[in-house]
Amino acid sequence: MNILAVVGSYRKGKTIDTLIDKAIEGAKEGGGDHVHVEKLYLIDKNIEYCKNCMVCRRDDPDKPIAKCIIADDMQTIYPMIEKADGFIFGTPVNMGAATAIMKTFLERTCWVLAKPGKRPIRGCPTPRTTRKKMAIIIVSSGIISPVFRRWCDDATPLIKSFCACHLNAKVLGSLYAGGVERKGMDIYLDEAYKLGKKLVSCVQ
Ligand SMILES: Cc1cc2nc3c(=O)[nH]c(=O)nc-3n(C[C@H](O)[C@H](O)[C@H](O)COP(=O)(O)O)c2cc1C
């Protein structure tokens, strides 16, 4: 089983990176030897902005990966996403939303892994893959505590909808590590571990 962990933080070894590691630990302990995890640090990659050329959206809908004309690291990342059975997405909540690198990554994946669907809204993205996948989401915030999450976290709903419309992935759970500047992240480690374990228990 292939798990792809996408790190949308600007900092290695800090909150998101550590919580993702904990989820990976849970996944490996839950799934044993047949769990293969790839950790993708977006910050290390050359990922250009989408150019809105629409070559991907017009490409053959039967292709699992549509053509993207931008020659950068996304060309090697697309097959990694396509190959994965499960995903761990992690991003700090900056200005109430996913980080710019996470958003850039999502935009670049948008019509490459999805095609215009017919229902319920004509043209709405539908995943190119028919393989059912699973995902978990981990977000963190510096100041906002978990009780205010619903008003201050646009990152989780964005990634959730990306999972449904672009990856054919069901989101099994999400962790909001809120107020880490005051509380630290240690109180969230156990929840991250459990989410990782849950992920592999649900992936076929
Ligand atoms: C540009 C910027 C905007 C931020 N906006 C918010 C915010 O809206 N709410 C909040 O609670 N924390 C905010 N933070 C704090 C980050 O969310 C926090 O440092 C991050 O979750 C820690 O993740 P990391 O350790 O993986 O970098 C912001 C940080 C930066 C750099």
CATH number of the domain that 135 lies in?
3.40.50.360
Per-residue pLDDT band for 191 (boundaries 50, 70, 90) equals: very high
2 occurs within a structural domain? no
Give me the domain span that covers residue 90. 7-202
199 neighbors 88 (Cβ within 8 angstroms): yes
82 neighbors 63 (Cβ within 8 angstroms): no
SS3 24: helix
- The residue whose two tokens read 């900092």 is 11
137 occurs within a structural domain? yes
163 occurs within a structural domain? yes
- Nearest atom of ligand 1 to the alpha carbon of 139: 21
pTM recorded for the entire structure: 0.96
pLDDT in tens, 146-176: 999 999 999 999 999 999 999 999 999 999 9
Q: For a substitution probing ligand 1, which of 9, 12, 89, 94 has the most ligand atoms within 8 Å of its CB?
A: 94
118 occurs within a structural domain? yes
Q: How far is CA 2 from CA 35, 37, 82, 88, 195, in A?
A: 6, 6, 10, 11, 16
187 occurs within a structural domain? yes
124 occurs within a structural domain? yes
Check pocket membership of 18 for ligand 1, CB cut-off 6 A: no
1 occurs within a structural domain? no
CA of 192 to the centre of ligand 1 (A): 18
What is the pLDDT at residue 32? Answer: 87
44 occurs within a structural domain? yes
C-alpha 189: how far from chain center: 19
For helices 100-109 and 155-162, give the axis angle rounded to 10 degrees: 20
pLDDT in tens, 84-124: 999 999 999 999 999 999 999 999 999 999 999 876 666 78
Question: Considering its fold, how many domains does the chain have in total?
Answer: 1
